[in-house]
Structure formats: structure tokens, C-alpha cells
Chains A and B, each alone.
Chain A
Amino acid sequence: MSFPVKQNAEKNLHIIELPERLTQKNSEELRAQLKNMVEESKYRLVLDMMATKYIDSTGLSAVVSRIAHLRSNSGDIRLAIQSDFVKELFNITNLNKIIKIFDSVQEAVASYV
């Protein structure tokens, strides 16, 4: 199983829609999906986490599991997050200093030039 993906042809990027909870139960799927996308040379990604209300350490780790590969290919992974709780976890772990986080998918998409 993989999470729904939308393509934005204009910006040449892909948007992965994540569920309400990203935990040990489903984070492996995200990890595998990101790996496949990198192998398919899809390097410009947005994670739509607008519905995500809970994420655990395995979920956080899956989100950044291909970040070096993406950036070394001039790509990136950017996040759209609504939940304050989820944002706080990115703050605690300092991942917010490395990953760009936006309040909406539109803003995350628009940040790509």
C-alpha cells in the first residue's frame, strides 16, 4: 500500500498525502514510497500533512529518510502541517531547522521555484 500522490506538472513536483496518524504501523510505507520515488528520479516533493494529527518517532524518521538523496539531486522535501502538536515535534527534534514547514499545501508548492 502507498499513500496517494498528486503530480503538479507546472512545478514539476509530487505531493504525497499523509493520513491522520503516522506511526510505526504505517511509517514503513512512507519510507518505501520515498525510496521508490527517489529511484524514479522524483526529487521535488511535498508532504501534505494537513490531516496529520499524530506522528511518532518512526514517522519523523520516515519523513527525513531520503532527505540527503533528494537534496543531492537538487530536490527537496517540504511539509504542509496544520496540527500544532505535530509542528511542536518538529521543533523539539530541531527538524524544523532543516526542513521547510508551511501552513498549507499551496504555500509549500509555491515555495518551489
Chain B
Amino acid sequence: MFDHSKFHLLEPNFERPVFKITDQHKNQILSLLREIYPEENISATLQELERTMKVYYAYKSEEMITWEKSFDPEERFTEQDIILITYGDLINKDGENPLKTLAHICENYLKGVFSAVHILPFFPFSSDRGFSVMDFEEVDPRLGGWEDIEEIKQDFRLMFDGVINHVSSKSKWFQEFLNQNPDYQDVFIVFSTRDEISEDHLKLIVRPRTSDLLTPFHTLNGTRWVWTTFSKDQIDLNFHNPMVLVKVVNILLNYVRRGADIIRLDAVTYLWHEIGTRSVHLKQTHAAIKLFREILNAVAPHVGLITETNVNHKDNISYFGNGFNEAQMVYNFALPPLVVHSFYNENTRKLTEWAQRLRFVSPTATYFNFLDSHDGIGLMAVDGILTEEEIQSMILRVLEHGGFISYKSRGDGTDTPYEMNITWYSAINREDVDEPLELKIQRYLASRAIALVLMGVPGVYFHGFIGSQNDSEAVLEEEERRTINRKVINFNNLAEAVLNPESATYHITRKLSALLAKRTREKAFHPNSPQIVLNVSENLFVVIRTTPDKGEIILTVTNVTSKICSLEIDKKYLTPNATDWYDLIEKKQYQFRGNKIKMEVTPYGIVWLKAAVTH
């Protein structure tokens, strides 16, 4: 049945009373604008932002307005939330739009397993697999149309990418700049000569690429040098111009109108540029994210922001702000490399120590616990958590597993490892080792279980969901290391693998689906359910999750080794009254008398022991 509370109107309804911003929101927006533009007269900007919000509001259905009144931000994400990450055209079926194929797969196979779908940029683009957007308002016709996105929206929440750091060099905006249209002169960061930024200043700027920062373009009025953080095809936007900010807000609200429930702020670290600084994590960048949140809180409170910042852990979590005023979710970038490290060394010490330091953010903000995505396994976040030797050792193991390594410039002429390019299945399992498939599957599930038990919302990349192996050939063909994990899958081949008991895909899709579905049924896995990470064994990762009312408790244990490991836990960490426990994974009853829980955990075993607490 069509649920009108999920969908906006196709045309704005200006007959209704116009949206009126509350004083509280208005004052907060003003204050943030002053923080970003202390030197500017911001009244025109505020007026334009208000107009944009009013127009957006006119697209809201009555059902949506009513529903939103009862929206509880503390329940934005619950234990039922697991996000599938996928390209819109990852699965290809002859004679069908890829987005329609995706919609069909989601509807028929993924309901009850995933609650939301992150469709990576599906707009017309010129490079970087969608991340150099040419037109923010249209669906790439090669993928499908808005109607396909709406079809997925029927059963899933949607996450869209706000690629707002840059636009494609083929976009209308940049083409108008090249035409020297006066309206577009301040939209980009432009220099007349390359020497306008000194070598010292260039070295200071932090970037994840080794390409030149400034790219020359021929314009109507001669050559101009343009700021390009990522590539010569991705032109950075100039947020010093308040009208760029307004344009971006308009794009984000357009995404909301088109169905976005979560907006991923791509590469947002680099949003504000300031010569003479490192141009990352600047206070204006944080203020801009806070402003986006404030605008959404005012006009579309059901929409959350997630920041994607592949940087060290401390800087990464700074995007939570005070827990209430910036991103509602942050990619937990340290998690994937720490899980890989744990499995390679059959040792959880570093993972456990790090997880013990993870703090509850706030009732309205939490971690995005992903292991794999369309990009590689980032290494920036474990800087200072793993030693250089540990990182180096992990890198060599990844190479042995058929992966590759990408680097970024340190700015002093040397490079540093930036990410490991490998599929999650190949990272965890060597393809050339003669092991029983069953063992490989169990190891794989154990690795995934770690992301499921931690506080936050889990994310699974489609290639991880089906257990894809490396596509190394594509790396050589496209000369792009990230393509190792971006293979377009033929629908018929996928269907065959899913039905073939000899394939890893057959077992992984079934067992992982079952594991994910189990998680969605347990309130103890709600992002606001406290966690205690226990340091009881270097072979095991042990996390206790308890509902806020202490009514339910789950003891989770993951064995990262190929050996049977003993577990002994003092019941003081649990509830003193519980003697009867039930393993949600093996569906077995346990009784633990006395003061300790003692058990043997099988190689790569996963145990989720649940006790109903008696008060």
C-alpha cells in the first residue's frame, strides 16, 4: 500500500500556509552564518535560505507533516537499522534499468534484513564512478529514473550522497564559469596564475591525492587555475561565497524531496579552504555541517546527516559536534582495519582496547559500523592506534590476499598508505589456501559479527553481502585500484551463485541474512543500548549490550582464531540473577551456576547469549 507519509508532493502546494521558521531555529541559523561569514552582510543569505526552506516545505504532504510531528529523533536509528551500500548499477540484467533491477532485488530478497539502502551517486557524472556530478537534479538515464528510486523507497529508507565538496568539470556550473558568466565567477576557487599559492602553502594543504592541487583551464578570458582537491575533473566549490552555500542547501532539500532519509556528506573534511592552513577540519566546515543540520531540524527533522571523513579517529568523531548539533552518524573508519588486524594476528587486543574507549555519543547520534564500502579499507583512522609495523604487516598480508594499496602524499615528497583495496571476503580469506569452504564462511561471518555487536548502525556493502572475491583484472584494465571491489554483476550469474550450494555466495547470503535478521530483533542492539567491552581474552572479542531499562542483556563473543578458545567471565559484569541463557546463534540453552560463565568457543565461533533479567 502506498504510504503517503513517506513521499512528497510532485508539485508545491502554495495554497497552504507558508512555512514559518521558529525563532529558535532562526537564531541558531543566524549564529552559524555569522560564524561562517563574519565579514559579510548575511541578511540576504538568511532570506534566501528561508525562501528555499519555504519552497521545500510546500512539497510536503499532509500525511508527512502529521507523521513528522510524532517523529522521535532518539528513535531515528534503532536495532532494526542495517544499511545496504550499493551502486545503482552494480547488478546488470539484460533489457532492464539497473535501478529497476536493484528495486526488484531489494523488494524480493532484502526486506527484513536491511532497513535502508545507500544508493551511491546515481546522478549524471563524468568520472570517479559517480562522484563528479554533472547534474544534481536528475537520475543518470543509464541507471533509470526517479520512479525507480521511489520504488525502492516503498520498503526502505534511502541514503543519498551529498557530493558537495566539488562538481564535475562538465557540469553546467563549471561550463558557465568557463564561459565567464559573471554569475559563476565566485562559485569556484580561481587563480590567475599557478604561483598565487606559494610552495609552502601548497605543502601545508592536506589532501588524499597526489595529483596537482591547481588545474589550468582555458576560459573565454584566458587561462585560469582552479582548486581541485581530488582530480582535474572534480572542481571544488567556493563556500566563501554564501550563494554557493544556498545552492547546496537547495540541492540537499531537493534530495529530501526526492526521498532521502539520510544524507551522506561526501569528503566533507575538505569543504572549507583557507590558504595558509591545512584546509581540513576547519571551523567553518563544522559550522556548515551544523547549519545543514539546523535547517533539516527546522524543516525536515526526519532526515539525518552522516559524515564520511577518512581521517584519524579523533578528528573523525569530531564531526559529532557536541553530540546534538552536527552529524547524527559518523563512519567508524577505525573499525574495518582493526577487524582485519585482529583476524590476521588472531588477536583482539588492539580492537578491544580501541572499542573500550568508544564513548556513547548522545541519544540522537551514533556510529556507522561499516566494514566495507565502494572505497578501500581506510588506514588513516588507525594512525596512532596501530603501530607503523602493525600497519606495514597488515598491508603485506593484504597483498598476499590479492589486494592492493593506495597512498596519499605527506606533502614532503613522500607517500603514506591511505587505504587497502580489496574485497572484504578476500581480505578475510586467502583465495589460494586449501581450506574447507565451511571454515572460510565461518571466518567471514565472525568478522562481520564484530560490526553487528558494537554500538551503532551496521552497514554492509553489496559485494560484502554476497562474498565477492577480488576483481584484480579490472584494476589493470581501468588503472584504478578501487575497481577491485566494484565489479558489475550479471543478474543471471548472481542468481546462479545464490542457488549453488558449492558457492560461497550461497552460504554467505543465507547465513549473513539470518545473522542480520537476528540482530534486528534484539533491543539490546539499539544504538542507545549501552555497551561494555571486556578484555578477557586476546583470542576473543567480548561485548555486553544491555537495554537502557536493563530488561534485556546480550553477551556477545566472537572468536577471531582458528582454535577452540575458553571463555570465563565473572558474572559481576552481567546480571547476578541470570542462570539461564539462550544462544541466539546456535539456538541452545545454557545454565551457568555460581559466579562465572564458562564455555568453549569454536574456531571463528559467534555466540550471542541472551538472558531475560529478573528484577
Contacts and interface: CB of A to CB of B under 8 A. Distances in A.
Interface of A: 31, 56-58, 60-61, 64-69, 71-72, 89, 92-95, 97-98
A67 B400 contact: yes
Interface of B: 393, 395-397, 399-400, 402, 404-407, 415, 432, 472-473, 475-476, 479, 481
A93 B400 contact: no
Given A72-B393, A92-B479, A93-B481, A98 B472 contact: no
A68 B479 CA distance: 24
A98 B399 contact: yes
Contacts of A68: 393, 396-397, 399-400
The binding surface of chain B is classed by DSSP as helix
A69 B393 CA distance: 10
Given A67-B396, A94-B481, 16 more contacts: A57-B473, A58-B472, A61-B402, A64-B399, A64-B400, A66-B400, A68-B396, A68-B397, A72-B393, A92-B476, A93-B476, A94-B406, A95-B399, A97-B415, A98-B395, A98-B396
Contacts of A72: 393, 396
23 contacts: A31-B432, A56-B473, A56-B476, A57-B473, A57-B476, A60-B476, A66-B400, A68-B393, A68-B396, A68-B397, A68-B399, A68-B400, A89-B476, A92-B479, A93-B404, A93-B476, A94-B404, A94-B405, A94-B406, A94-B407, A95-B399, A97-B405, A98-B395
Contacts of B432: 31, 65
B13 to A, nearest CB: 54
B345 to A, nearest CB: 11
The binding surface of chain A is classed by DSSP as helix
A72 B399 CA distance: 14
A54 to B, nearest CB: 11
B416 to A, nearest CB: 10
A80 to B, nearest CB: 19
Which of B396, B399, B404, B432 lies at the interface centre, i.e. has the most chain A CB atoms within 10 A of its CB?
B399
A58 B476 CA distance: 11
B289 to A, nearest CB: 32
Contacts of A66: 400
A93 B472 CA distance: 10
B554 to A, nearest CB: 36
A57 B393 contact: no
Contacts of A61: 402, 472
B481 A57 contact: no
Nearest to B397: A68
Contacts of A93: 404, 475-476, 481
A61 B476 CA distance: 12
The 9 closest A-B pairs by CB, nearest first: A57-B472, A68-B396, A64-B399, A57-B473, A61-B402, A68-B397, A92-B479, A68-B400, A93-B404
